[in-house]
Amino acid sequence: MANQNKAVRVLAGSTVAFTICFMVWMMFAVLGIPIKKMLGLNETEFGLLAAMPVLSGSLVRVPLGIWCDKYGGRIVFFLLMLVTVPPIYLIGKATAYWQFLALGLCVGLAGGSFSVGTPYVARWFSQQRRGLAMGIFGAGNSGSALTKFVAPAIIAAWGWQALPTVYALTMLATALLFWAVTASDPAHLSGAGASFTQQIKVLKDRRVWRYCQYYSVVFGGYVGLALWMTKYYVGEYGYDLKLAALLAACFSLPGGVLRALGGWISDRYGAYQVTWWVMWVCWVCFFLLSYPPTAMVVQTTRGPLSLHLALNPWMFTALLFVVGTAMAIGKASVFKFIADDFSDNIGAVSGVVGLAGGLGGFILPILFGALLDLTGVRSSAFMLLYGTVCVSLVWMHYSFRPAAASGAAPQAV
């Protein structure tokens, strides 16, 4: 019973901490808009600014996952949060583009918290409950939506320079709360005697690379869209910052909160079936979202007929909601694969897969901006995502086809 109470406290404390870390990690999705206006940035420069925290948060995931295995998740998580407090605060004092980029790299360390929290939480639960536990922890992705609710109000009331101060104080308070409510178990230090070389041997397993690709779609795509959608609504539909952020949260919120549902579904139906259907749902939605506003004239027997094809804001938002829900479930199902296949090395594997997903989230906003600068078509962002989902579907089909043809339950090969 005491161990069960500790597990619940660890899960609750880690989920709250991860939510705040993710809120900070996504702060440039809103904060970047007034900075873009102040500095006169183009679309590609804005994409780089928004994505810079994602780069460092991705690169640090592998060492953080290994350190979690070796030293324990509680101490690594706590120190990570403390380290990010000064650079968060200093963003409010920055004036030049390079300063925002440099500080964004430092703040981005908060994004590495996922690779600490995942193995830390997972080891407190049995394999039958691990998918749900990791799904609940992963619901901290809803910090992306939280920043869209909180940041516009703070900026409207006190200016954008106040936001970093509020976020820095919030991170500090959360770190202290996390340390107070969580616990450690020396038995969970599975990597204590393993060298770095031994830990990264998982890279030789082709399943890891496949899961990296899946996660770069469901998590990388989620991060990229979460950073881009507020600005998309402002540019495409002419909404102000508050309304644009609110509608963008219709994607970010289910994309985070429903990850717990994805964990439960993955426990019940298996990671393969869930991931397969997630990719198909995303494929259909991205196809519809990719179609740019189009005007055409059709010659009929009664003369020319003018047609205008476009998604109105409500249809667009509804499709984004479906995508966010699918990605939330997909993020959980990919990590169900990892928990089942690499239960003795979750930290290192989750770090590698998390790195791939994070790098996807870093590259995508930059590519979104570059495509928009080159083509002038905003929906080109969804065209790019449509292509990445096609790759996942083809890879899954050929990876699991032998088991499916034999009538056996699909297994990773």
According to DSSP, the residues that pair with 294 across neighbouring strands are 309
pLDDT of residue 403: 47
pTM of the full structure? 0.80
Residue spans of the domains in the chain: they are 2-406
For 381-392, the pLDDT digits (tens) are 999 999 999 988
- 406 or 147: which leads in pLDDT: 147
CA distance 393 to 276: 7
- Please compute, for residue 254, the number of CA atoms within 13 A of its CA located in the half-sphere on the CB side: 17
CATH hierarchy code of domain 2-406: 1.20.1250.20
CA distance 126 to 130: 6
For 56-96, the pLDDT digits (tens) are 988 888 788 778 878 888 999 999 999 999 999 999 999 99
- 345 or 48: which leads in pLDDT: 48
Write out the two tokens for 26: 């996504």
**Cβ(104)–Cβ(52) under 8 Å?**
yes
**Residue 205, number of CB atoms within 10 A of its CB:** 16
According to DSSP, the residues that pair with 306 across neighbouring strands are 297
pLDDT of residue 197: 61
For 273-328, the pLDDT digits (tens) are 898 999 999 999 999 999 888 888 888 888 888 888 888 999 999 999 999 999 98
**Cβ(27)–Cβ(146) under 8 Å?**
no
Q: What is the mean pLDDT of the chain?
A: 86
Q: Which residues contact 48 (CB under 8 A, 6 or more apart)?
A: 101, 365, 366, 369
First to last CA, the chain: 38
195 falls in which pLDDT band (50, 70, 90)?
A: low
Asked whether residue 336 carries a pLDDT value surpassing 50, the answer given is yes
